[in-house]
């Protein structure tokens, strides 16, 4: 039917967004967002699922064109799940950044499957979903005993809207320690602890779980026949829309940006993955492992840029000022992951930078980290940028310059393209509803930046000469 809309629920670690998209054209017709917060629930730091639900229901009730919404598609960040009682009451939705998870770190490390089997690195805090479950088992046994179902984060929202429980592979396989990609089965840890039995049957990301509940229809005014799709992990949504729009055998890499900058290399070799560098195998919507590397780019950008308003875009002149002043940002500025987790971030020659130059330094840092991880992955060309970094006027051109072939060589430059900020969730949803993704890519043109190649060489020497991060595995 013409003029049908799909409502996309996109719950990131930093922001929750609700967007209406025209199913036929992919055009956004309406959108709103709010900051995500945490709450204390049962003595545990938890995601504010109640607050987000109020935001979503109020938004759906007040949104223009809501009568045209025919489907709802949930997208959410990884390393998150909601534990429920038999009556459907929320026990908790642990926040993976809670430092309490460190208390069981070493014990948990000895229990988990080896990296060679799960391709899930041992991560700080609760970034391994398995560690969250183990912590709850050990530290809050009475709460954990009350748990009869564990819903991965996108599927929690699908359940709240449809009352149908499901699991889905992209969140299950997202550095959870619960899945063995090559065996396409639960890990020994998940089975031995009985966690696999708490997860509902798996469904595909685009499966229709049902229609919205009577209560949701009454509160929002949506058509009672509105369908609810199973949903997907956010970085996998970005990856899927570009995979679906390209030949199956074409090699490429997607840089999905947001709180995390996640590089997924289609055709990348899992043997190149290093646990100590926060490299992993994500599982795509088709169940296939994808060589991946990541760093908390959004958080690190904010830490380096300081009080620079997000609306203030870095300029070429400010970037040239950074190079001339030999200002450098050395990782890392967030303790939640990345190839240099455990190292303390350091700014060099940054005291005299103005606000614009701080934004340019943060952009350059993110581009250098991305460039390094692309090399570690052996990532193929082209490189496609998705998410908020597409709106940074310097990030794509700087990355393109870094990916250009060195002077004096016969190698071809690796092309870099930028998509649209919302292309990932939007085009993923349209694809799963049977439409060919309409991804619009802009070619990122490399810059004339004398001194950048030497700057990168010095930066890499500095970051790799610092104390190595923990390279131990759990084998």
DSSP notation for 317-386: HHHHHHHHTT-EEES-S-TT-STTTTSPPEEES-TT--HHHHHHHHHHHHHHHHHHHHHHHTPPSPEEEE
CATH superfamily assigned to domain 235-465:
ATPase, nucleotide binding domain (3.30.420.40)
Distance CA 206, CA 393 (A): 33
Look at residue 420 in the predicted model and tell me its pLDDT.
78
Given a contact cutoff of 8 angstroms between Cβ atoms, the answer to whether 407 and 436 are in contact is: no
Look at residue 440 in the predicted model and tell me its pLDDT.
84
Distance CA 468, CA 460 (A): 13
Residue 415 burial (C-beta neighbours within 10 Å; 0-12, 13-18, 19+): middle
Look at residue 436 in the predicted model and tell me its pLDDT.
86
Beta bridge partners of 279: 293
Distance CA 160, CA 76 (A): 14
Residue environment code for 335-355, b if the CB has 16+ CB neighbours within 10 A, otherwise e:
bbbbbbbebebebeebeebee
Look at residue 28 in the predicted model and tell me its pLDDT.
93
Domains of the chain, by residue range, sit at 5-230, 235-465
Distance CA 170, CA 182 (A): 14
What percentage of the chain has pLDDT greater than the value 90? Answer: 85
Look at residue 3 in the predicted model and tell me its pLDDT.
86
Given a contact cutoff of 8 angstroms between Cβ atoms, the answer to whether 356 and 394 are in contact is: no
Give this prediction's pTM.
0.93
Look at residue 410 in the predicted model and tell me its pLDDT.
43
Write out the E strands in 77-213: 81-84, 90-92, 149-152, 179-180, 185-186, 208-211
Given a contact cutoff of 8 angstroms between Cβ atoms, the answer to whether 229 and 432 are in contact is: yes
Alpha helices (runs of H) in 140-292, residue ranges in sequence order: 141-145, 153-162, 169-172, 188-193, 214-220, 234-244
Closest C-alpha to 135, from 79, 187, 199, 88: 79
Q: How many residues does the chain have?
A: 475
Pairing of strands 15-22, 5-11: antiparallel
Closest C-alpha to 395, from 445, 346, 353, 331: 445
Given a contact cutoff of 8 angstroms between Cβ atoms, the answer to whether 273 and 280 are in contact is: yes
Closest C-alpha to 44, from 147, 119, 118: 147
Q: What is the DSSP letter of 167?
A: B
C-alpha 100, offset from chain centre: 23
Q: How many C-beta neighbours within 10 Å does residue 315 have?
A: 15
The fold of the 5-230 domain, in CATH, is: Nucleotidyltransferase; domain 5 (3.30.420)
Per-residue pLDDT tens over the stretch 135-177: 999 999 999 999 999 999 999 999 999 999 999 999 999 999 9
Residues of the chain where predicted confidence (pLDDT) is lower than 50: 408-411, 467-475
Residue 32 burial (C-beta neighbours within 10 Å; 0-12, 13-18, 19+): middle
Fold matches, 5-230 and 235-465: yes
């Amino acid at each position: 039917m013409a003029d049908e809309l799909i409502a996309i629920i996109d719950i990131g670690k930093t922001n929750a967004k609700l967007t209406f998209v025209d199913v036929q054209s992919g055009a956004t017709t309406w959108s709103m967002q709010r900051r995500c917060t945490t709450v204390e629930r049962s003595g545990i730091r938890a995601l504010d699922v109640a607050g987000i639900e109020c935001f979503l229901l109020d938004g759906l009730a007040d949104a223009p064109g809501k009568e045209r919404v025919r489907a709802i598609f949930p997208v959410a960040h990884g390393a998150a799940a909601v534990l429920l009682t038999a009556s459907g009451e929320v026990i908790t939705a642990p926040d993976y950044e809670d430092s309490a998870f460190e208390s069981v770190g070493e014990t948990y490390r000895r229990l988990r499957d080896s990296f060679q089997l799960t391709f899930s690195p041992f991560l700080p805090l609760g970034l391994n979903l398995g560690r969250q479950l183990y912590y709850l088992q050990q530290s809050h046994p009475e709460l954990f005993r009350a748990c009869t179902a564990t819903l991965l984060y996108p599927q929690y929202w699908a359940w709240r809207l449809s009352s149908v429980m499901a699991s889905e592979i992209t969140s299950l396989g997202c550095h959870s320690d619960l899945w063995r990609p090559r065996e396409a089965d639960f890990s020994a840890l998940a089975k031995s602890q009985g966690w696999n039995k708490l997860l509902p049957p798996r469904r595909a990301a685009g499966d229709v779980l049902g229609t919205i509940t009577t209560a949701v229809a009454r509160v929002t005014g949506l058509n009672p026949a509105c369908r609810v799709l199973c949903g997907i992990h956010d970085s996998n949504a970005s990856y899927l829309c570009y995979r679906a729009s390209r030949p199956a055998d074409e090699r490429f890499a997607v840089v999905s940006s947001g709180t995390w900058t996640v590089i997924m290399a289609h055709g990348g070799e899992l043997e190149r993955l290093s646990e100590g560098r926060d490299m992993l195998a994500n599982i795509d919507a088709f169940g296939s492992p994808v060589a991946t590397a990541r760093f908390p780019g959004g958080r690190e950008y904010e830490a380096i840029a300081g009080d620079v308003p997000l609306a203030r875009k870095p300029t070429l002149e400010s970037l040239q000022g950074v190079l001339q002043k030999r200002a450098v940002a050395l990782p890392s500025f967030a303790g939640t992951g990345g190839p240099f987790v455990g190292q303390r971030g350091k700014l060099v020659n940054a005291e005299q930078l103005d606000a614009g130059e701080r934004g340019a330094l943060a952009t350059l840092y993110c581009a250098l980290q991305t460039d390094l991880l692309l090399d570690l992955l052996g990532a193929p060309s082209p490189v496609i940028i998705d998410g908020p970094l597409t709106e940074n006027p310097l990030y794509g051109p700087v990355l393109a310059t870094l990916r250009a072939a060195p002077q004096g060589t016969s190698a071809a430059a690796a092309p870099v393209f930028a998509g649209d900020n919302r292309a990932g969730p939007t085009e993923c949803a349209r694809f799963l509803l049977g439409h060919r993704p309409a991804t619009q890519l802009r070619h990122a043109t490399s810059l004339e930046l004398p001194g950048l190649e030497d700057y990168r060489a010095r930066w890499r020497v500095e970051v790799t000469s610092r104390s190595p991060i923990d390279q131990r595995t759990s084998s």
